[in-house]
Amino acid sequence: MGNASQLNQWFKTFLGQRLLREETKVLQQILPQLFGYHLLQIGDVGHGCLLESSRIMHRCVLGKTVNTICKPYSSVYALADDLPIASDSIDVVILPHILEFEKKPHDILREVERILIPEGHLVILGFNPLSLWGFWCWLFARRDTVAWCGRFLPLVRLRDWLALLGFDLKKQETFFFGLPFQKDRFKNYTQFLEKMGSRWTFNFGAVYIVVAQKRVATLTPIRSKWLTQPILVTEAIGTHFENTLRTQDDDSHC
């Protein structure tokens, strides 16, 4: 399984740059609609270019290496499954191709749920195993090279994890239908497939994007018993009081 530096090197290749541009375009349609005070990208894929369309003022990129500098944004050096961030403090978290290249993706999602504020948003970019790229990875590609050494997570499993952690799914789509080749001479075929794929292949794009929102639990308050007002039974008290008066009157007559 590749590390963060290998993944960043792959995104500098011809194919990686094309994919990065497409992902930036997709995020330009989503990030401007997500508001708040703090945005965190886990993993330094793109070195901050994925965050350019966000309106959130404080944007931070978290990486594994101390050289994670993504100006003009803040930088944090930490592990993705052990975030040095306070609970309920981040408005938006972005995970670009992190889950498929980490050993404990579910632990990362659990940490994200912890640091997100109630109703905060999570944006996930991942390689789709049900695509031409997934087929290529399974059949032909070398498993020791990025990006084919990753463990591509099916959307069904990812949705199940998010539901268990208390997230509501807000958006899901796939994109980028180009061939998984690095050579520029395949560019014309790639552009043709992209036009056809965006119209007819639905959820079989090479990359998926998922937007989820942290669910807020609604609690029904239960009143304590000692705060309950006592019920006054007037009939019983009145009957007892009348019987007492009648007995006193009979004694006085005697």
pLDDT digits (tens, 9 = 90+) for 93-108: 999 999 998 989 999 9
> Which pLDDT does position 25 carry in this prediction?
96
Q: How confident is the model at residue 241 (pLDDT cuts 50, 70, 90)?
A: very low
Per-chain mean pLDDT for the chain: 82
pLDDT of residue 180: 80
Closest CA to 111 of 96, 95, 127: 95
Span of 119-133, 156-170, 239-253 with lowest mean pLDDT: 239-253
Mean pLDDT of 5-22: 89
Dist CA 243 CA 56 (whole Å): 78
Band of the pLDDT at 122, cuts 50, 70, 90? very high
* Whether residue 225 has pLDDT greater than 50: yes
Kindly state the average pLDDT of the residues 58-66. 87
Higher pLDDT, 221 or 144: 144
Coil, helix or strand at residue 174: strand
pTM of the model: 0.80
**Integer CA distances (angstroms), 29 to 23, 26, 213, in order:** 10, 6, 17
Q: Rounded to 5 degrees, what are φ and ψ at 73?
A: -95, 165
Domains and CATH numbers, the chain: 4-214 (3.40.50.150)
- Give the confidence band of 190 by pLDDT, cuts at 50, 70, 90: low
Q: What is the pLDDT of residues 152-182, one digit of tens each?
A: 999 999 999 999 999 999 999 999 987 787 6
Of the chain, the percentage scoring pLDDT greater than 70 comes to 72
What is d(CA 41, CA 64) in angstroms, rounded to the nearest whole number? Answer: 12
> Is pLDDT at 243 greater than 60 in this prediction?
no
> Which whole number is the average pLDDT over 175-192?
67
